[in-house]
Amino acid sequence: DAGITQSPRHKVTETGTPVTLRCHQTENHRYMYWYRQDPGHGLRLIHYSYGVKDTDKGEVSDGYSVSRSKTEDFLLTLESATSSQTSVYFCAIRGTGNTYEQYFGPGTRLTVT
């Protein structure tokens, strides 16, 4: 999985609680991405980062925030989890060079009850 780890791998939480998911990479890639995967929707981009402290919104950013205080870590926070945020969350990095392919972590399965 391209030197990318995600934690936790599974989490069950209650509606209204805050949740933080962590993505860690070991290869000093500049670009990092958070996606969610839902049946029938493929992968949808939540937020991405193009450097330390540099982030931007994706297609489905409402209800999510991100932070990147160091190159290797990209955090995704659900400030107040809702059942609609039950999903599988994937982190990705962009490969080096100008070919733009992305490499994905193993995913975090989040269930909001």
Q: Does 106 bind another protein (CB under 8 A)?
A: yes
Gyration radius of the chain over CA positions? 13
Start-to-end CA distance of the chain, whole Å, equals 29
Nearest CA to 35 among 87, 111, 70, 95? Answer: 87
42 part of the interface to another protein, by CB under 8 A: yes
* Nearer to another protein among residue 31 and residue 77 (C-beta): 31
Does residue 53 interact with another protein by CB under 8 A?
no
Q: Is residue 94 a contact residue for another protein (CB under 8 A)?
A: yes
In the complex, the smallest distance separating the C-beta of residue 89 from another protein, rounded to whole angstroms, is 11
When asked if residue 99 is in the footprint of another protein (CB under 8 A), the reply is: yes
Nearest approach, Cβ of residue 28 and another protein (Å): 17
- From candidates 40, 53, 62, 70, binder to another protein by CB under 8 A: 40
Would you say 108 and 19 are in contact if contact means Cβ atoms under 8 Å apart?
no
Hey, what's the torsion of the CAs at 65, 69, 9, 47, to 10 degrees? 40
Q: How many other C-beta atoms lie within 10 A of the C-beta of residue 110?
A: 21
Enumerate binding residues for another protein (CB under 8 A). 1, 4, 31, 33, 35, 40-45, 48, 50, 58, 90, 92, 94, 99-107
